[in-house]
Structure 1
Amino acid sequence: MADPNDRADEENELPLATSVGYQLRMAHRASQRYLQERIEPHGVTLGMWYFLRALWQEDGLTQRELSHRIGTMEPTTLSAIAGMEKSGLVLRERNAADRRKLHVWLTPKGRALKATLMPLAVGVVEKATEGFSPEDRERFLAYLGMVQRNLADPRIDQDSGKE
């Protein structure tokens, strides 16, 4: 006679092949590894990469603003910025109006890396989406955006609207 608990266990299983979370994680790890291999010869770690990207878009952000943009805790940001400062990529400057705030500015060396590293990043994206039509790539980005929006506040049960 079949155990009813066996059926319940089968219904609760989530094979890795059909787990969105697992597949996202593995794709993320693969893209990070691929990017890391390309940028490290230029003296840039993966940890530095995200801060450089943010500063290339908007130089002079505060350390707190960088933490929010990158999605890291402030101690992690402080450590990364200190390493970047030691490497000559950024410098920190106190805000004249609010001495508690430290702004992070690219040095000429940090700014110049953009011309070298951005084409490498574009190459990673092209490799990752090899075989995608332009429409597939657009849909893929839209789906990833939906996943992010769907999970933006995990405290809210999307099905019932209850917390």
Structure 2
Amino acid sequence: MDDKTPRYSFPLEESIGYLLRMTHRSFARAVQKEISPRGVTIGMWYFLRILWEEDGLTQRELSQRVEMMEPTTATALRNMEERNFVRRVRNPIDKRKVNIYLTDEGRALREVMLPQARAINQAALAGVAAEDIASLRRVLCQMRANLGPGEPIEEL
């Protein structure tokens, strides 16, 4: 083995992490294309998805659910508030906390955007057998459990 021959080899196409990242980026581009006409960024999308399921979370809870750093969450929420998608309300019991609520406009986005997200998922899974989809879900959940939820990230 000479100095130019790598000691270890791990081609990108063999890396599950790389394949997942590239697939995620493809999903993100497809979603962004659909949501941007309504003034929603991909970063906002993640927060809306959580709030559509559980409105009124505190800012900290929302950060934890999306796995974003709190300053990043604060910036996203400020942008969402400017677009009238959410409103922040001081918690009446603990004044240090701020609860995040969808506005009527933010809530209405669900009826338009979730069908678009479902269509993107269906397009991505075209030609994939139902049992393979079920297996993929199990494998992804197991991989996440193996690696743990991770630390929040700073950037959207």
Structure with the larger RCO, 1 or 2 (CA within 8 Å, 6+ apart):
2
The correspondence for 1:61, drawn from 46, 57, 61, is: 57
Q: Give the Å deviation of 1:23.
A: 0.8
2-structure distance, mates of 1:26, 1:153:
20
Equivalent position to 1:46, from 31, 42, 49: 42
Q: Matches of 2:80 and 2:89 in 1, distance apart?
A: 14
Q: Provide the residue aligned with 2:154 in structure 1.
A: none
Structure with max Cα Rg: 1
**Separation of aligned partners in 2, 1:153 and 1:97:** 30
What percent of counterpart residues are identical? 45
1:88 matches 2:78? no
Query: In the alignment, what sits opposite 1:111?
Result: 107
1:31 corresponds to 2:27: yes
- CA deviation after TM superposition for structure 1 residue 127, in Å: 1.3
TM-superposition CA deviations, 1:29-79 (whole Å, max 9, x none): 111111111111121110110111111001000000000000000000000
Residue 8 of structure 1 and its aligned partner are, at CA, apart by: 7.2
TM-score, scaled relative to structure 1:
0.87
1:157 matched residue in structure 2: none
- Give 1:17 shift: 1.1
Mark the runs of 5 or more structure 1 residues left unpaired by the alignment: 155-163
Q: How far did residue 81 of structure 1 move?
A: 0.4
1:21 is the counterpart of 2:17: yes
Candidates 94, 97, 112, aligned match of 2:93: 97
CA distance in 1, matches of 2:13, 2:85: 41
**1:129-156: per-residue Cα shift (whole Å, max 9, x none)?**
11112111111111111111111178xx
Which of structure 1's runs of 4+ aligned residues deviate more than 3 A? 4-8
| AA aligned opposite 1:117 | M
Instruction: Give the 3-state SS of the residue equivalent to 2:89 in structure 1.
Output: strand
Normalising to structure 2: TM-score of the pair? 0.91
Letter in 2 for 1:137: I
Residue 128 of structure 2 aligns with which residue? 132
**Unmatched 5+ residue regions in structure 2?**
151-156
